Structure 1
Amino acid sequence: MHVLHHTPRTARANWLPFVARPAVSLWLTSLLLLLAAVSSPVDAQPKTERGPRTAQRESPEIRELKITGTSKLPVAALRQSLVSKPSACKSLLLKPFCVITKSRHIYERSYLDRDEFQRDVLRALVFYFRRGYRDVAIDTSIVRVGSNAVRITMSVKEGPPTRVASTSVVSFAPVPIDSAGLIRPRVNEPLNLLAIDSTVASVRDALWEKGFADAVITPSTKVDSAADSASLSFRVDPKRRVTIGEVRIEGVEKISELAIRRSLRIAPGDVFRRSRIAQSQRALYESALFRRATIDTLAHAPGVPDSVKSLIVRVIEAPQREARASVGFTTADFVQAEARFTDNYWLGGTRTFDATITVGNLLAEQLTQSQFFVNFTNISRDNALGRFYSPTYQASVEARQRWFRSPRNTIGAGLFTHRRSSPGVFVDRGYGASGTFTRELAVRTPLSATYRFEISSVEAGDVYFCVNYGVCDASTILALRGQQRLSPAAAVISMDRSDSPLSPTRGIRFLAEAEHASALTASDFRYNRALADVAMYRPLPFRNIVAALHVRAGWVQPLASTAGAVGLPANREALGSAEILHPRKRFYAGGAQSVRGFGENQLGPRVLTIAPDVLRGRAISKGDTTYGCALATPIASCGVNAAFLRDSDFQVRPLGGTTLLEGSVELRIPVWGSLVGALFVDGAILGEGTLNSITRGTGAITPGFGVRYESPVGPIRVDLGLRPTLRRALPVITQTTDSAGQRVLVALAPATGCGALSSEGCRTFPDPLERVGLLRKLANRLTLHLSIGQAF
């Protein structure tokens, strides 16, 4: 090892001759000018990968940049302030590959620029100086490692900080806010210049919110270098309180000026508040009626008092009509197509008319047995499999009136129809009308009251009604398949404080929904339902990694009066222990936006179904028919764990639950350009019955990883979830025919349920006795999801 510079290069922060000057802005500006004077705009960055051969001849590669002695401030933040960087893998996810190869596609080499490194010493001093550490010494050494590489060490001696000894606010006029409470830094804290700048902005904004838009805040400091202390004061001049004078509007063609004035949160004579200006401009943008909307202050007119400001609202209106179409796909919904038509000025004024149609499940029959998509033949093998191949659709028309009697209100009404399906479970058809009233409580915090009247019908196999409703006879199942009213009243509140609608990096999103359906709402299906959904995003202090957290909880309780409303006996004895609940109102877990180790809706309470011939072990060989379970034996006595039965002989039917607790944690890691990697852990517990059942429900935790491509329409997402081996004793249902030739469902499980893996009439699923190779076991536990948009 050869030392290139053995004599340490030392720099100290207290060499600045102007640190004791009272004006913060003066000595901070001088310091930045000095830094700019020693910087070269031509050579502002170290030599990088663009010319590797030339760079290797001229400068050694930086293998390591070690910073020692930092304890008062985070070393990660100090590293980010430096231009010199060590060679490193381009992403945390690529590190395993960087051990094998140092290809420029995954590994970035950095080369030493000695002039830039000297400036890095200045940058480090400025970094500490701004945060109150004025007596910092930095020693540097550069040591050769190999033929053309170096290891750099920056040894920092932080020294004591200059602490704030006192703070004060000076004003020659009454200040209408608690400005002293906004002062940062506080007494005994380091003299942080960044905090002082933030204090100036906070006090100015607080005064503006009170109407003092022309307030002037001037900070000053007196530093005692010997005592490492400083006194900090702010001179506040609130000036006059400002009111709004004239509000002029320009650019209107299709909308009347009166309609725009109704949308504004300001009016002549109001106090000139910053938040009201911002809310007014946001209301114009979010209305979708304008391509551009700005609110500016007019030049001061002669004869108008200084305490009055006139405003001008400039708008560029959106087109009269718009139409757009899109096509996409997911592993669960196959190919989807959407078309939308919008009339922004329907019947004149601020009324909007929308017509939307979405068609999904396209090419389901052709793609269902391909490698990446859901395989319906593994989910359902009954004679009605074709209904899950048919296209699904949602169509609606809606009219909205913005700024209904208040700039905070929106009222709307619409008509809709739909056909939805849950593969292997049910097909849900419906049509009806809805009405909504929405009031904006705060910025991006709407509260909506909705009533939705719908005529609904459910297509599902007899097994579904038998297991979910406890109704197994053909006549009552036929009644449940008929048209019924599903008419809930709901209240929904949401809040969005995230920084991006597509891929947030910080902030929070929240949604809470309460729903009620009964005779009061003219509904046949009757229930109470609640749902809460929270997502939080936070950037981590290294490599631009974003941590995302998602929690969802739900509860639904069917009302006993539903049975009579849909034409069934109201007494519980006729229905067993189950109560009637529309399948759409149950909770399901598993899928691309849920627990990604499972397929769509595949986590939670389940039941197994099997064809009677398969259960009996019917086989034909050379014209002779044999049975593993003789025909003379009642089918209810045939063993469901017989040696000749395999897992593939059974179909898994998800039942949904009435209680749900679900959570996900995800790290989104930049990989290269628009590619982002993800590591995630999802989990959920899905129960049946009361809230206490959530602790006894079916749950799982599934880790996984994925890749996102940040496209203009949103992230294109590929996720692989690892499913745990969940062995459970599941009830088994088959069917037979009675003496009259009618089809009858037969539950093979005991009335007490499947409490243990060895329960008679219950199938241990998956079968632990199946022997497959290690790679196949791993492949069988991986679940692939393809979709557009983040999981949450």
Structure 2
Amino acid sequence: MKRAALAGLALAVTLAGPPPFVGPSPLLAQVPAGGAGPQRAEVNSLRFSGNETLSDGQLRGVILTRSTECSSLLLSPFCLLTNWGFAHRRAFLDSLDVAEDAIRLRLYYNSRGYFEADVHHIIRSNGLDASVSFVIEEGPATLIDEFSIEGLPEALGAEEAATLVDLDVGDPFDRIRLQAGVDSLIGSLRRQGYVEAMALSDFNRELGGTAQVALDVRPGPRYRLREVRIEGGEVIGEDVIRALLPLRGGDYYNQEAEQEGQRNLFGLDAIRFASIRREEPPPEAAAPDSTVDLVVQVTPASPRAARFGVGWSTDQCLQTEARLTHRNLFGGARRLEITGQLKNIFADQLDGRFPCSQVGTDADFRTLNYLLQAELLLPVAFSAENTFSARVFLERETIPDVFIQEGLGAELGLTRRLGPGMSASLSYSPNYTGFGEQSADIFFCINFGFCEPEDIITVTRSRWLAPVTLGWFYNRTDDPLRPTRGHYLTAEGEVAHESTGSQYRYARIVAQAALFHELEPGLVLAARGRAGMVRFPGTRIFTPGAARTDRLVHPSRRFFVGGSQSVRGVGQNLLGPRVIVADQVEDCPAGDFEACVDRLARENPGAFDERPRGGDAHLEMSFELRRYLSEQWGLVFFADAGSVSQRLTELRKIQWTPGLGLRYTSPIGSIRLDIGYNTTFATELPAIVSMEDGTLVQMPQPVLFDPFRFDDPHPLLELLRRLQIHVSIGEAF
């Protein structure tokens, strides 16, 4: 087989000289060579013609010449309407670069198998503006008519090798594709113990437009692990460390498996530092099946740690958290964590004012929430792929303007790693929980018809909620806190029944997907979709033999949309079905409630408290354009949408809300300020008057409720009324 070195081929193309310069029209000014001079022409147009095999984007990646373009997608309105300097990325003509770019394009076509390709460049300029065109004549491709792979070891078959190389007879003689195939082949060999594997390529190109390619594989010795030694792992336990290592004595050496083992070790809180090294064999030991040792060196972390944090959000006000951790309880890297949280601090004193504007309208929702829990984590349960956790807790939690929940319980969970970025979990969570009467009266009256005080006492009494949950998570993003590329998927199914020890019965499923795409450096398009539904066959809450058996799902398992983590153009949980409530003492003391409610709706809708009802099904969508201005600061434009329905078959119209946000990256996470715009118009809503004695009176007809345009305000005042401000920590998704 005749040989032609790649370097020689490239040299031959270079020596052929640059393509002839096709100059501008005699009527246009000439451009100085090298683009020198104070008056350089701006390149406003860059075009390719004649390219059928390779795209414009591929060719732009080869050349130096650029054209003036908008500096950011966010500034595109300014780019279209103005010629302001800050909005554009300016590019100026350099005729020497253009001539060299023509050579670069020709060489690139040669490397892709088009050896007869010819490239000409055309420059047109009037001294101020310029256009550059590259005219390409691709010519026929040089096709491979002979292809062979020699020297393969027994561990890698010819068919598998051909699949890895992904180049065969009849394909264009594409040397870039050939090199990628060789890299895949060598990577496969090295994963099978051939650490020193390499491959030499030999090719010959005939004048008739064909090529012959041969790969000579030289695998070298195949290394097998003789033993895996652990150093410094006595405190943690060698059994746990070995379980986290994919490699065992007797396995063929695999560098990727070694790196996976090191990542697993770094994932343990009990380990401060871990290193894995391969002890090279002496030269005389390099037999066809050589043996090596793997040495794992571990440095344990301090066994005890304490953390304290403070945060603020519009729906939980000031929050504090203290956490005590033992990283290696009784050895085996078992982690015990005790956590205490307080929320709604200063919510009562601020009386619903910003920045605690979403905590709830009644004073009952502004009292302290708390959580006290202890969690035990076993990082290795039965195998390295399994993690077991157990926790007990005591809590008081509020869902603003929906309900106040108090309870205690436990949770047992098993998580299994299924692959890179993928895991599944199974958990059982028995909770003994009930509701404060002051929070649940309107919720249960409107949704389930329990309006009498004795009925409300019955349904708010503490009962067992004991669901079994199966979850699945798949994450392929490049950064868990600030992703710019990739996607993640989650799905969760939950069932509660008498057989699980639950006094509530329901089946619930939720799925979520998010996508991140970097449009340009520092500009990321993010999208998220989430949907869920719940069904309940019936929950008996009254005594046996009572006149009614009621269909009641636990309020915390219904769907509520709106707020800083979902649709940011509406208040907390206020998207979807809701009811408006007037107070007898403050708003309707005269007693003619129907007339009072009608008057309030027309003249003073701010007197009503909006209460969400939730639903059995929901759909959410969010789109964000994230511009990272620096390492700390970022700007976001977003559009959120959602729908909540009382029934699965009656999904309501989707409501869109746009907005913008500011981000600051801090040591405790991304501090987020979002301003959303509420697009709601006049809506007919059920109305209730809360009596002085605690009973509820529902109006016979819904009223037209419009809190934004009821008094025909100035457009600026209406805009301010529609704005929703959210302050929180962490990204929305």
Q: Shorter-chain TM-score category?
A: 0.7 to 0.9
Distance 1:187 1:658, change over 3 A: farther
Whether 1:600 and 2:572 are equivalent positions in the alignment is yes
Whether 1:405 and 2:382 are equivalent positions in the alignment is yes
Whether 1:610 and 2:593 are equivalent positions in the alignment is no
Whether 1:362 and 2:309 are equivalent positions in the alignment is no
Residues 72-121 of structure 1 show CA distances to partners (whole Å, capped at 9, x for unaligned) of 433344434444545555423235557668566x6655556666666555
Count of aligned positions: 705
Q: Is the 8 A contact 1:525 1:580 kept in 2?
A: yes
In the alignment, what sits opposite 2:449?
470
In the alignment, what sits opposite 1:435?
412
Q: Per-residue deviation at 1:299?
A: 0.5
Q: Is the 8 A contact 2:340 2:371 kept in 1?
A: yes
In the alignment, what sits opposite 2:696?
745
Whether 1:445 and 2:422 are equivalent positions in the alignment is yes
In the alignment, what sits opposite 1:51?
none
Within a 5 Å distance, the mapping from 1:306-345 to structure 2 comes to: 306-307=288-289, 308-345=291-328
Whether 1:349 and 2:322 are equivalent positions in the alignment is no
Equivalent residue letter for 2:553 = L
Q: Per-residue deviation at 1:490?
A: 1.6
In the alignment, what sits opposite 1:183?
165
Residues 370-398 of structure 1 show CA distances to partners (whole Å, capped at 9, x for unaligned) of 5555255xx52xxxx22322233333221
Whether 1:419 and 2:402 are equivalent positions in the alignment is no
Structure 2-normalised TM-score? Answer: 0.85
Q: Per-residue deviation at 1:489?
A: 2.0
Whether 1:218 and 2:200 are equivalent positions in the alignment is yes
Equivalent residue letter for 1:68 = F
Whether 1:300 and 2:281 are equivalent positions in the alignment is yes
Whole-Å separation in 1 of the counterparts to 2:125 and 2:410:
76
Residues 315-370 of structure 1 show CA distances to partners (whole Å, capped at 9, x for unaligned) of 33322222233333233333333332322212223211222233333333455655
Residues 399-434 of structure 1 show CA distances to partners (whole Å, capped at 9, x for unaligned) of 222222311222222222222212222222222222
Q: Is the 8 A contact 1:505 1:537 kept in 2?
A: yes
Q: Is the 8 A contact 2:415 2:425 kept in 1?
A: yes
SS at match of 1:692: coil
Q: Is the 8 A contact 1:334 1:367 kept in 2?
A: no
Residues 434-457 of structure 1 show CA distances to partners (whole Å, capped at 9, x for unaligned) of 222222222232222212222222
Within a 5 Å distance, the mapping from 1:113-512 to structure 2 comes to: 120-140=101-121, 149-160=128-139, 162-166=141-145, 168-172=147-151, 173-174=153-154, 175-176=156-157, 178-185=160-167, 190-224=172-206, 226-227=208-209, 229-238=210-219, 242-252=223-233, 254-301=235-282, 302-303=284-285, 305-307=287-289, 308-365=291-348, 370=353, 373-374=356-357, 380=361, 385-459=362-436, 460-512=439-491
Q: Is the 8 A contact 1:598 1:783 kept in 2?
A: yes
Whole-Å separation in 1 of the counterparts to 2:528 and 2:84:
37
Moved more, 400-409 or 720-729: 720-729
Within a 5 Å distance, the mapping from 1:515-664 to structure 2 comes to: 515-540=494-519, 542=520, 545-564=523-542, 572=548, 575=550, 579-612=551-584, 616=588, 631=591, 635=593, 640=598, 645-664=603-622
In the alignment, what sits opposite 1:48?
none
Q: Is the 8 A contact 2:444 2:451 kept in 1?
A: yes
Whether 1:64 and 2:15 are equivalent positions in the alignment is no
Whole-Å separation in 1 of the counterparts to 2:118 and 2:342:
67
SS at match of 1:198: helix
Q: Is the 8 A contact 1:486 1:525 kept in 2?
A: yes
Whole-Å separation in 2 of the counterparts to 1:190 and 1:700:
52
Q: Is the 8 A contact 1:331 1:374 kept in 2?
A: yes
Equivalent residue letter for 2:430 = F
Distance 1:82 1:334, change over 3 A: farther
Equivalent residue letter for 1:156 = V
Q: Per-residue deviation at 1:600?
A: 2.0
Among 661, 674, 677, the residue aligned to 1:719 = 674
Distance 1:703 1:743, change over 3 A: closer
Distance 1:157 1:712, change over 3 A: farther
In the alignment, what sits opposite 2:719?
778
Whole-Å separation in 1 of the counterparts to 2:600 and 2:396:
40
Q: Is the 8 A contact 1:730 1:765 kept in 2?
A: no
Q: Per-residue deviation at 1:171?
A: 2.6
Q: Per-residue deviation at 1:712?
A: 5.6
Q: Is the 8 A contact 2:46 2:132 kept in 1?
A: yes
Whole-Å separation in 1 of the counterparts to 2:338 and 2:10:
57
Q: Per-residue deviation at 1:141?
A: 5.3
Whole-Å separation in 1 of the counterparts to 2:339 and 2:696:
41
SS at match of 1:475: helix
Whole-Å separation in 2 of the counterparts to 1:87 and 1:259:
58
Q: Is the 8 A contact 1:136 1:156 kept in 2?
A: no
Whether 1:730 and 2:685 are equivalent positions in the alignment is yes
Distance 1:447 1:673, change over 3 A: closer
Equivalent residue letter for 1:202 = S
Whole-Å separation in 2 of the counterparts to 1:643 and 1:421:
28
Whole-Å separation in 1 of the counterparts to 2:662 and 2:109:
38
Distance 1:770 1:133, change over 3 A: farther
Equivalent residue letter for 1:687 = S
Residues 234-275 of structure 1 show CA distances to partners (whole Å, capped at 9, x for unaligned) of 334555654322212234363233331222222111233455
Q: Which has the higher contact order (CA 8 A, sep 6+)?
A: 1
Q: Is the 8 A contact 1:678 1:707 kept in 2?
A: yes
Whether 1:703 and 2:697 are equivalent positions in the alignment is no
SS at match of 2:556: helix
Q: Per-residue deviation at 1:472?
A: 1.0
SS at match of 1:514: strand
Moved more, 583-592 or 108-117: 108-117
SS at match of 2:266: helix
Whether 1:74 and 2:51 are equivalent positions in the alignment is no
Q: Per-residue deviation at 1:471?
A: 0.9
Q: Per-residue deviation at 1:500?
A: 0.9
Among 602, 626, 649, the residue aligned to 1:692 = 649
Structure 1 regions of 5+ residues with no counterpart? 1-19, 39-54, 619-626, 750-759
Whole-Å separation in 1 of the counterparts to 2:716 and 2:69:
33
Identity %, equivalent residues: 29
Whole-Å separation in 1 of the counterparts to 2:353 and 2:82:
34
Equivalent residue letter for 1:591 = G
Structure 1-normalised TM-score? Answer: 0.79
Moved more, 241-250 or 167-176: 167-176
Whole-Å separation in 2 of the counterparts to 1:442 and 1:183:
25
Q: Per-residue deviation at 1:497?
A: 1.6
